[in-house]
Chain A
Amino acid sequence: MRSNKGDGTMKKVFLITIFGLLLGGCSLKEDAAELYLQEQPLHAEVILPETITSEEPVPIKVILTQDGKKVDEVDSVEFEMWKHADVIHATAEQPSVLEEGTYGINKTFDRDGLYYIKIHASKGDAIIMPQVQIVVGELSKSELEYLQKDLPEKEEGHDHHH
């Protein structure tokens, strides 16, 4: 009798343990990534006027941050720009430091159309190359069609650097 009771208790503990494991399961902690190697990526915010017209200087600014703080000493920052379907004539410009972590240029676009600006920035191992699409004046028919083709990538097959 006594031993039966002992077995019963043992079984109960056993059952509870098993069901606890089965029902409770475990889920991944949201901050588990903090226990492992973490990168310090650069983050870019690009500031553009609401509307951009051709033949007048347009202020283009980028605010670079790292870990939520503005980065005032980048290793390199460069604006690469080209018109849609004309990546061969891409130009690159060094922006000037406007304030802490803010870099900018004044760019005059000759013609209306769809343009791209790729910002190359680096600080140590953190390297980024965000790319923005901008509309200067009116879009041509072919540019509009291109946008509607759902092809967000840069045109293919050209060397990007000049």
Chain B
Amino acid sequence: METVINTTTKSDVQQKSSLYRAVWRWHFYAGIIVAPFLIILAVTGSIYLFKPQIEQVIYQDLFEVTPQGEKIPASQQIEEVKRLYPDAVISKYRPGENATRSSEVGLTVNDQSVTVFVDPYTGKSIGELNSEDRIMDKIEEFHGELMMGTIGDRIVELAACWTIVLMVTGLYLWLPRKKPNMSGVLYMRWNKGRSILARDLHVVPAFWITAGMLFLVMTGLPWSGFWGTQFQTIATNSGAGYPPSVWVGNAPVSTVTKDIAEVPWAAETLDVPVSEVQGFIPVSIDDVVQIANREGVHPSYTVFLPKEPTGVYTLSAFPPKAEDEITMHIDQYSGAVLTDYRFEHYGFIGQVVALGITLHKGTQFGLINQLASLLICLGIILVAVSGFYLWLKRKPSKSMGAPKSTSIKNMKLFLVVLIGLGILFPLVGLSLIVIFLMDVLLIKRIPFLKRFLHA
């Protein structure tokens, strides 16, 4: 009788502990691979959070102007920039959101994208900035794509998705198994020796920041290149997302496409019939500015000039608060407002994503938002570093020191969770397939790898 009870208890414990080890093993490997990226994301994110303040300081000379009298029409400011850069193609104009803000003319010259800052009261250029030299843009590029373009974007996305796996497995490992005792679970044990402190430095802060970290991952994913684009497309198609052209999709086209005035090219003679020269010509940028004022567009807007005969003027503002966002398209020949998409016109998912983005960037609630996000970033760095330290401290010299792998039979539930995440985040699924293939084709067949990885 006694033996029977003993065996059941023993096998029960064994099964539980083998599931525990399996989860731990996944947490272990995922952590080692993802930790460096999490640290990069948290560090660059912490800096980028303060972009408004940082740029205000380093570009003060370019941003600030002294108001004097009336502002000069946009067309004249652009004319002046054209005179300074005769070979440039002007792509955008930003009037400046208040009386002391310079206006900006964006242009492309010799394949470089340059912003010229203009004093709207004198109409003179006060300086230029090459996009390549904008330090905050570099930080953003690092944060979003590790400065590696599409490949970097996918790596960041993968790291973000695997962070969710880390959080799920981490929470399982964190769950107290003995009687409820909150030390080492909800608060730190400072006086129980160094190993306990190292463990608590990983586990306790990790629990506290999990919600914040999940929030940053989930609000960051919608602007990722792969998952984000798919997600946005599905949302927009369903009517619940951003209206088309705000994130995915094209702008409408100008409705007048016939009867446009043609430009005669040959010098000194009219080489095309008069009827070709007669016709619609684009409305001026001054009319566009007037339309923006009439329609109450948020003053931080930028006008993107039409690039082709069927193109439109696009007015776009993404100010600190999501509620102030606007994307407006104006027919370049008639000045008609073709679409006027504001926050209240987004579908429910679109509104949630938009709010998520401004919260993620720390602009929605200003300084408090920035500080809260900074705290999460610092927490992420602490958790990643302490996790890494935990590994180094325990690592045997001849192997990775991972928990022993267990048969797939012991981790059915965990497998279901993993596959679920793999379907929700196809990049995770793809990487799971790669891991599975590597396991079957390499690790299981090469004794050294098997020993080293404790497979």
Contacts and interface: CB of A to CB of B under 8 A. Distances in A.
A86 interface: no
Give the contact-size bracket for chain B.
Answer: 35 or more
A131 B283 CA distance: 7
A35 B341 CA distance: 12
A51 B274 contact: yes
A1 interface: no
A90 interface: no
B333 A3 contact: no
A150 B267 CA distance: 12
Instruction: Tell me the interface secondary structure of chain B in the complex.
Output: mixed
Nearest to B346: A36
Contacts of A50: 274-275
Contacts of A37: 243, 339-341, 345
Contacts of A27: 233
Contacts of A147: 263-264, 277
Interface in B238-289: 238-239, 243-244, 248-249, 252, 255-256, 259, 261, 263-265, 267-270, 274-275, 277-287
Given A32-B244, A139-B270, A14 B334 contact: no
A61 interface: no
Given A46-B280, A129-B287, A18 B341 contact: no
A92 interface: no
Contact of A33 (B244, B280, B334): B244
Contact of B280 (A17, A38, A130): A130
B312 to A, nearest CB: 11
A44 interface: yes
B334 A18 contact: no
B99 interface: no
A15 B282 CA distance: 53
Residue in A3, A14, A46 with the greatest tally of chain B CB atoms within 10 Å: A14
Chain A to chain B: the 7 pairs with minimum beta-carbon distance, closest first: A35-B239, A41-B336, A36-B243, A130-B334, A37-B345, A129-B335, A18-B429
Interface of B: 73, 75-76, 79, 230, 233-234, 236-239, 243-244, 248-249, 252, 255-256, 259, 261, 263-265, 267-270, 274-275, 277-287, 291, 294, 331, 333-341, 345, 347, 408-409, 419, 422-423, 426, 429-430, 433, 436
Interface of A: 3, 7, 10-11, 14-15, 17-18, 21-22, 25-29, 32-33, 35-39, 41-46, 48, 50-51, 116, 125-135, 139, 141, 144, 147-148, 150, 152-154, 156-157
